[in-house]
Amino acid sequence: MADIFVSYSRADKARVAPLVAALEAQGWSIWWDPEITPGDAFDKLIAEELEAARAVVVVWTPSSVESRWVKGEARDAADRGVLVPVRFDNARLPIDVRAIHTTDLDSWGGNTETAPFKALCAALEAKLKLSAAKAAPRAAKDTRPTVAICVLPFANMSGDPEQEYFSDGITEDIITDLGKVSALSIVSRNTAFSFKGVKADLAQIARQTKASHVLVGSVRKAGARVRITAQLVAAANDAQVWGERYDRDLNDIFALQDEISKAIVAALRLTLLPEERQALGQRSTTNTDAYKLYLMARQFWLLDNERNNQIVVRICNRVVQIDPNYAQAWATMALAQWNMFWLGEKGDDGEQAAATSLRLDPHLADAHAAMGAALRSKGRFEEGLQACREALRLEPNSYVANRVAGLCFLGAKRYDEAISHFERAAAARENDFTAASFVSQACKAKGDAARMRSAALMTVERIEKIIAADPGHSRALAIGACMLADLNERERAKEWAIRARLVDPENLNIQYNLACAMSALKESDLTLEMLADIAPKLSPGMLSWMEADSDFDPIREDPRFKKLMQQATERLASGSKGEERAP
């Protein structure tokens, strides 16, 4: 197997050949142009080589960005953390990989001494070293599963779009359950959900995700009844391996999920280990009412709209009244409380709820991430990082753990590490704009203008989709104004700023983010005017954040800024309490 897999469009073969030759001259083995007739054997060979490669170079061109094959291979590589993308002809990158740094090679001209080629080699060397370090403990024995399943989002057949949260929740729980079976390899939730609403044949999806089987289904909830249909399809011949329709009382939902998972295992003729059989029967809650409400709260939290925080806390409070031992509900409540704390809406930073979640389930990644968020809100960045590291050990692709870890690194001015975690968070959720915006900020702080611009463009595109559906999404508008300011789109940035202030005039988060936008536009007087309104409400954690926030570097030496910070420090030292809000 080769060190590096090169993914490209066949139309670009002549352009890719010199690049491959140059990489091979560096001593690396490359897989890129198999002499084999396309078909089943071809697909199998590609899947094997892609999985074995320790780094994947995706060559983006106007031709390759239209290729489902190339996009699928890029998505797989991004999920595994081995993607090293390059670009020709200023190709417009697919939205789900724009947050990942891409090297422009238009100017390299086959010269291995050019800065772009050297940058590519440095990126590859880093990926190869990291991959080797991760593979070393497993070298003695290869225990990889041979059956891979992609669980596509179950369709909501309830006739009520608001029930989407329930069908999505069922899908994610099935993914979690099947992930407990060691004989199975499950395509990540992030990759599987990227196909939601996309019309593509199952064989094509299987090829893109390297799955041997695809699970499809639907959910219809009506009152106290639920109907779930599911079928498992073998990718090789598009044949149904197993299928069933269940009409049950909603109170049987947990037993039904358990039944579906075990039926899939049986259909594949796999044997469950005793501990796996026991794990499939374990649930965060066994109370149906608590479960339904939690799925609703989780959906509100994922929308990342500040006005939803109170809704999430209110619902989660009701959930833990019904089931006080529901660890996941405590963790989600803690995250919403953290958001509200940063907004200055209440004094609870979520630490108590996070501690409760950790006590109930010390193996829950979200519980550790919530504790990391609470510690970070106090300016205790290193302690927050320790909590996030444990969360990422349990769940490496966790959206919230990567987002909070990125914030801790950003607060500590460790920009490369911050960018790495923010990119993972942005890749984990296609509708994320917060982590994506911090990629731009961290790149700007370290002086990488090209990468900053790329991340800002991706963030604005995501926000445009969000505010088209929800024009009152004030957080998206405010962060969008910051990104437009970084892109020097002055008039549009000011227009979005006005909209944000009109939509949510009392929101301190809006004021802070708009001050960041005005700073980027070099509107120093207006920036300081906005900060003067915020300064009397700073808490110790927020003050430590402002001291580190690179967005204010242009005015950091201004006597007025220094005076604001000094007054806030003196007020806090005297014991006067302030409020916090989030950047």
- Identify whether the C-beta of residue 370 lies closer than 8 Å to the C-beta of residue 335: yes
Structure tokens at 334: 């803690």
Give the domain CATH number at 127. 3.40.50.10140
Domain count of the fold of the chain: 3
Predicted pLDDT of residue 581? 33
Q: What is residue 514's predicted lDDT score, i.e. its pLDDT?
A: 81
Q: Which is it for the CA torsion 176, 177, 178, 180, positive or negative?
A: positive
Query: Are 260 and 206 contained in the same domain?
Result: yes
Q: What is the pLDDT along the chain (583 residues), one digit of tens a residue?
A: 678 999 998 888 888 888 988 888 888 888 886 544 444 445 666 777 888 888 999 999 998 998 888 888 888 888 788 899 999 988 888 876 777 888 999 888 888 888 889 889 988 988 887 766 655 554 444 454 568 899 999 999 887 777 888 888 889 889 888 888 888 888 877 778 878 877 778 888 888 888 899 999 999 988 888 999 999 999 888 889 999 999 988 888 888 888 898 899 888 888 777 777 777 777 778 898 999 899 999 888 888 887 888 999 999 999 999 999 999 999 999 999 988 876 655 567 899 999 999 999 998 999 999 999 999 887 788 899 999 999 998 888 788 999 999 998 988 888 999 998 998 888 878 788 999 999 998 998 888 988 899 899 999 999 999 999 888 898 899 899 989 988 989 889 888 888 888 888 777 767 777 888 888 888 888 888 888 887 777 666 667 677 777 888 888 889 999 898 888 888 877 765 443 334 4
Same domain, residue pair 305 and 445: yes
Q: How far is CA 78 from CA 154, 263, 375, 450, in A?
A: 24, 31, 29, 20
Residues 401 and 303 in one domain: yes
CA distance 388 to 384: 6
Residue ending a domain, among 283, 310, 340, is 283
Picking from 496, 548, 489, 549, the residue whose alpha carbon sits closest to that of residue 521 is 489
d(C-alpha 427, C-alpha 432), whole Å: 8
Same domain, 240 and 355: no
Answer yes or no: do 310 and 161 share one domain.
no
Distance CA 125, CA 115 (A): 15
| Whether residues 352 and 400 fall in one domain | yes
**Residue 566 contacts by C-beta under 8 Å, 6 or more apart in sequence?**
none
Range(s) of the domain holding residue 35: 4-138
Report pLDDT for 69: 84
Give the pLDDT score at 534: 75
Domain-terminating residue out of 283, 311, 331: 283
Please list the residues that pair with 246 across neighbouring strands.
228
CA dist 476 and 495 (Å) reads 13
Predicted pLDDT of residue 344: 59
Q: How far is CA 300 from CA 166, 294, 347, 571, in A?
A: 12, 10, 21, 36
> Is residue 101 domain-shared with residue 248, that is, in the same domain?
no
Task: Check whether residue 488 and residue 357 sit in a common domain.
Answer: yes
461 with 355, same domain? yes
Output the furthest CA–CA distance in the chain (Å, rounded). Answer: 77
Domain shared by 276 and 168, yes or no: yes
CATH number at residue 482: 1.25.40.10
